[in-house]
Amino acid sequence: MAVAPLKVGIVGLGNVGTGVARILTDHPHRIAERAGRPIVLKRAVVRNLNKPRDIRLESGVLTNDIQAVINDPEITVAMELMGGIHPAREVILALLKAGKDVVTANKALLCEHGNEIFHAAREYGRTVCFEAAVAGGIPIIAAVGQSMAANQIIAIQAILNGTSNYILTEMQANHQHYHTALKQAQDLGYAESDPTLDVNGLDAAQKLGILCQLAFGTRVTTSQFEIQGIDSLDLSDLKCASDLGYHIKLLAQARLTNRELEMSVRPTLIRKDTPLSQISGPFNAVLLEGDMVGKMWYSGRGAGQAPTASACAADLIDLAVGRAQLTFERLDLWRERPEYPVMPADQTTSRYFLRLRVEDKPNVMAEVTGILGAKGISLASIVQPEAPEVDAKSNTPVVPLVIMTHRTTAGQLQEAMSELDLSSSVRGPRICLAVAD
Amino acid sequence: MAVAPLKVGIVGLGNVGTGVARILTDHPHRIAERAGRPIVLKRAVVRNLNKPRDIRLESGVLTNDIQAVINDPEITVAMELMGGIHPAREVILALLKAGKDVVTANKALLCEHGNEIFHAAREYGRTVCFEAAVAGGIPIIAAVGQSMAANQIIAIQAILNGTSNYILTEMQANHQHYHTALKQAQDLGYAESDPTLDVNGLDAAQKLGILCQLAFGTRVTTSQFEIQGIDSLDLSDLKCASDLGYHIKLLAQARLTNRELEMSVRPTLIRKDTPLSQISGPFNAVLLEGDMVGKMWYSGRGAGQAPTASACAADLIDLAVGRAQLTFERLDLWRERPEYPVMPADQTTSRYFLRLRVEDKPNVMAEVTGILGAKGISLASIVQPEAPEVDAKSNTPVVPLVIMTHRTTAGQLQEAMSELDLSSSVRGPRICLAVAD
């Protein structure tokens, strides 16, 4: 092959960076065949040159000087794989200014500074690729930007955090308690040492934000919609949902309703006989609904070295072939332009699953349904399983009450729940979860 | 937008052709925005100008003269949407020779004449796009050719025929008999008026052939692997599989084993707690396993006007943007080159589900397991449900026997089944189905 090789610099040789370096060094022929020319790793920038590494690189490749990438005109593509906001933001801006196309997997950065980065890329005539930033190995950026190009996307439903999904699967299938399952996820390397952003829903919310930018051209910050994590779920919630025919998943949702975006990230009941409910362990899934193609969905590993590196390498190949540049020009992201506004959280609608503990006395079901009815919430079912117990605080007998509502607004539900909290017949803790359509 | 429009000719204005025309005429702004320039339908070639149609086209667009497309230098992209082998083959060759890029959804043609068509395209420096030829709305061509470019694909498992899947879903979920479900599929427009190719597995086999060309660079004809349709399945088979925790799907499979391709299309038992088993109704699904990304999968509507037209329109947009030309150059399809050979059908391996009717007498289970054991087939389970009946022919009491084998070759199984057929204790009909891993 006589075509000049594409020379690449990697900034950050952690888990993903090492994975990309490995693909390039282990499979040079495969990559050259698919890219139309060799892709050569010229420099890998690390903080600590002496740290032991899982990969052998040719001498001279490893450096601790970012300028060795920025100032090398031979390097036309740079990969930011450090993660975090700073100095990743400054590094990407410097790389773009130096005339490099950039590949990144940094969802937090894009969510927060996508505007600035894409503006700079357009100003300098460069391309930014970020297939690995959302749902790891799932080619969701290509799906939205290219394969569904004839469609207006009208809804997204997605499982975007592998750690949460692993924990929920363990709780559901193996009856593990939350903290045991979380510990396992950490031992298996799925969860970060600080898993807060995984289990509190923020990681999924950042990814949903990027998907909404792509699908709806709307810039969304994570403060604009309801985010609820899985950290308050109890085994008994999963058991109760299961008895009704549902699994609980951390579901990220966005739906176009009357030109507004209804968005949320929260534990959600999903019917067992749907593919989405069967996504297990560390897998991610994204369901897109287009006005032409209907429902389309994608599943695969959302994180991990090889899947994420596979997505980064696909970006590199796209840049080498020249496709990425054409796509970037058309994607038109993070621009100032008319957007679909995000619907205020209290106006979003859903069906809900409620679990209350109520006093075991004759008129309590009438009282509860009365309060819900007064707020305009109609009920699909109300079940009182035979499992009386004694409330420790009041020393009175209590029974569980399981309610499925019809579609209602979050605001109505919130009002009803506040009123229920005031009722002397209702005892905490109470559970209120959304139910997927 | 000052960029010159892309002018398109459609050959064949049936269901899919009308869908594409509708997208172009109903959503010109959306398409222009995503394509970077307007895409204009200049000519639509039909056999009968006077046939009533579901779409209004500008005057002069409709023609019954294929030369109006071939000889118009303004038309740079032509869509072959006639279906069938002849004259579709001749039309595509003429269009390529006249310098047009071609979009087609014609799987049968590609399966049979892909070689000749891709050779001609390369000779004339043109591009052939065929996203809609396999799995309708699912962007599987883009997934294999682009998103998974860093991977060697090692396995494919797919539900590729929507009609069969609809019938099996109806049999499974609503206990419809095969012929009732088939009739429904026809009434709903899922099945062709002659549904033979849908239900005998050949349609799925042609699509699997194209996927294998893409994923493995191997040219496969449908005579090289086992193809079994759903037309001999009975309600009781689905019921029995369900009792064991499986759904039955028409599964197309290809797996790279020791540099050979193990391929088959046949009704297969799939565990209920997997997403693939939950693909219902007219939906398709494709599971790809890459050596980097692991298992990835895709699901969506495999047929129908809007999904197929959506895929064709994505091809048009890719051509307008210039991506399709770059991809085609790299895809390197239907070339003469080293291939992975297809493994002879009798050497392929699988787990199997057997259902026999045997005489209700003490030593029959020993006899059956003895015959299987002598052929080297080891058993995972053997169950004799209590459901004695009387064999009409011999007037002797018979009972069902349900066997799950461990992995064995199709050849071994065939030999064992022949021997069982000779046993006086075994009565037909007997069922033998593959079980997915």
Say which of A51, A100, A183, A207 is annotated catalytic: A207
A18 is in an annotated binding site: yes
The three-state secondary structure class of B155 is strand
Return mean pLDDT, chain A. Answer: 93
- Kindly write down the DSSP assignment for every residue of A10-71, as one continuous string: EE--SHHHHHHHHHHHH-HHHHHHHHSS-EEEEEEE-S-TTS--SS---TT-EES-THHHHT
Percent of chain B with pLDDT over 90: 82
The three-state secondary structure class of B267 is strand
Q: Does any domain span residue B331?
A: no
- Kindly write down the DSSP assignment for every residue of B184-227, as one continuous string: HHHHTT-S-SS-HHHHTSHHHHHHHHHHHHHHH-----TTSSEE
Predicted pLDDT at A429: 77
Average pLDDT (B30-51) is 95
User: In angstroms, rounded to a whole number, what is the distance separating the alpha carbons of residues A395 and A410?
Assistant: 33
Percent of chain A with pLDDT over 70: 98
Number of domains in chain A: 3
**Are B359 and B237 members of one domain?**
no
The three-state secondary structure class of B422 is helix
A107 is in an annotated binding site: yes
**pLDDT at B102 exceeding the cut of 90:** yes
Q: Does any domain span residue B175?
A: yes
Instruction: Provide the β-strand partners of residue B397.
Output: B390
Closest to B209 (Cα-Cα) out of B251, B254, B173, B241: B254
More confident residue, A364 or B65: B65
**Are B101 and B198 members of one domain?**
no
Domain boundary among B120, B136, B152: B136
Residue B121 burial by Cβ neighbours in a 10 Å radius (0-12, 13-18, 19+): buried
Which residue pairs, CB below 8 angstroms and at least 24 apart, start in A218-225?
A: A218/A261, A218/A339, A218/A340, A218/A341, A218/A342, A219/A114, A219/A115, A219/A334, A219/A339, A220/A261, A220/A263, A220/A342, A221/A111, A222/A111, A224/A263, A224/A342, A225/A263, A225/A264, A225/A265, A225/A342, A225/A345, A225/A348
Contact criterion met (CB below 8 Å) for A201 and A265: yes
Question: Distance from B2 to chain A by nearest Cα, in Å?
Answer: 15
Prior bond of B5 cis (ω within 30°): no
CA distances from A270 to A265, A266, A399, A407, B248 (A): 14, 12, 25, 15, 23
Question: Distance from B175 to chain A by nearest Cα, in Å?
Answer: 16
**Are A149 and A131 members of one domain?**
no
Question: Distance from A434 to chain B by nearest Cα, in Å?
Answer: 22
Q: Does any domain span residue A323?
A: no
Q: Does any domain span residue B264?
A: yes
Per-residue pLDDT of A175-193, as tens digits, reads 999 999 999 999 988 877 7
Which has the minimum average pLDDT: A256-265, B191-200, B386-395?
A: B386-395
Question: Distance from B298 to chain A by nearest Cα, in Å?
Answer: 5
Average pLDDT (B293-297) is 94
Per-residue pLDDT of B114-148, as tens digits, reads 999 999 999 999 999 999 999 988 999 999 989 99
Per-residue pLDDT of B352-384, as tens digits, reads 999 999 998 888 889 999 999 999 999 999 988
- Kindly write down the DSSP assignment for every residue of A193-213, as one continuous string: SS-HHHHTSHHHHHHHHHHHH
Return mean pLDDT, chain B. Answer: 93
B13 is in an annotated binding site: yes
Half-sphere exposure of B171 (CA within 13 A, CB side): 29
Confidence of residue B286 (pLDDT cuts 50, 70, 90): very high
**Are A54 and A16 members of one domain?**
yes
B149 touches chain A (CB under 8 A): yes
**Are B153 and B132 members of one domain?**
no
Q: Does any domain span residue A363?
A: yes
**Are B130 and B243 members of one domain?**
no
**Are B132 and B144 members of one domain?**
no
Contact criterion met (CB below 8 Å) for B12 and B53: no
Contact criterion met (CB below 8 Å) for B327 and B145: yes
Residue A195 burial by Cβ neighbours in a 10 Å radius (0-12, 13-18, 19+): buried
CA distances from A354 to A240, A250, A268, A367 (A): 10, 17, 12, 15
Q: Is A97 a catalytic residue?
A: no
The three-state secondary structure class of B162 is helix
**Are B152 and B297 members of one domain?**
yes
Q: Does any domain span residue B308?
A: no
**pLDDT at B332 exceeding the cut of 80:** no
Per-residue pLDDT of A331-385, as tens digits, reads 877 666 657 999 999 999 999 999 999 998 888 889 999 999 999 999 999 988 7
Per-residue tokens: B131: 């996203």
Say which of B42, B51, B100, B207 is annotated catalytic: B207
Question: What φ, ψ does residue A408 adopt, rounded to 5°?
Answer: -145, 165
Closest to A151 (Cα-Cα) out of A10, A311, A295, A269: A295
**Are B287 and B146 members of one domain?**
yes
Q: Does any domain span residue B119?
A: yes
- What one-letter code names the amino acid at A90? E
User: The CATH number of the domain where A69 resides is what?
Assistant: 3.40.50.720
Contact criterion met (CB below 8 Å) for A396 and A357: no
**Are A351 and A272 members of one domain?**
no
Predicted pLDDT at B433: 96
Per-residue pLDDT of B396-429, as tens digits, reads 889 989 999 999 999 999 999 999 999 989 987 7
**pLDDT at B106 exceeding the cut of 90:** yes
Predicted pLDDT at B436: 96
Domain boundary among B136, B153, B176: B136
Per-residue tokens: B252: 């197309």
**Subunit contact B23:A292, Cβ cutoff 8 A:** yes
Predicted pLDDT at B338: 59
**pLDDT at A130 exceeding the cut of 60:** yes
Predicted pLDDT at A1: 47
Please report the number of interchain residue pairs, chain A to chain B, with beta-carbon separation below 8 angstroms.
177
**Subunit contact B149:A327, Cβ cutoff 8 A:** no
Residues 284-313 of A with CB under 8 A from B: 285, 290, 292-301, 304, 306-307, 309-311, 313
Predicted pLDDT at A2: 64
Complex ipTM, two decimals?
A: 0.91
Per-residue tokens: B354: 């057997």
**Subunit contact A34:B330, Cβ cutoff 8 A:** yes
Predicted pLDDT at B1: 47
User: The CATH number of the domain where B425 resides is what?
Assistant: 3.30.70.260
Residues 385-404 of A with CB under 8 A from B: none
**Are A84 and A194 members of one domain?**
no
Which range of residues forms the domain containing residue A222?
140-300
Considering only alpha carbons, which residue of chain B is nearest residue A149? B314
Which of the 8 DSSP states describes residue A132? G
Q: Does any domain span residue A119?
A: yes
Neighbours of A350 (CB within 10 A): 22
Domain boundary among B94, B112, B136: B136
User: In angstroms, rounded to a whole number, what is the distance separating the alpha carbons of residues A191 and A388?
Assistant: 38
**pLDDT at B335 exceeding the cut of 70:** no
**Subunit contact B139:A143, Cβ cutoff 8 A:** yes
The three-state secondary structure class of B287 is strand
User: The CATH number of the domain where B221 resides is what?
Assistant: 3.30.360.10
User: In angstroms, rounded to a whole number, what is the distance separating the alpha carbons of residues A50 and B88?
Assistant: 64
**Are B149 and B215 members of one domain?**
yes
Length of chain A: 437
Predicted pLDDT at B3: 83
A272 is in an annotated binding site: no
> Measured between CB atoms, which of B143, B301, B317 is closest to A150?
B317
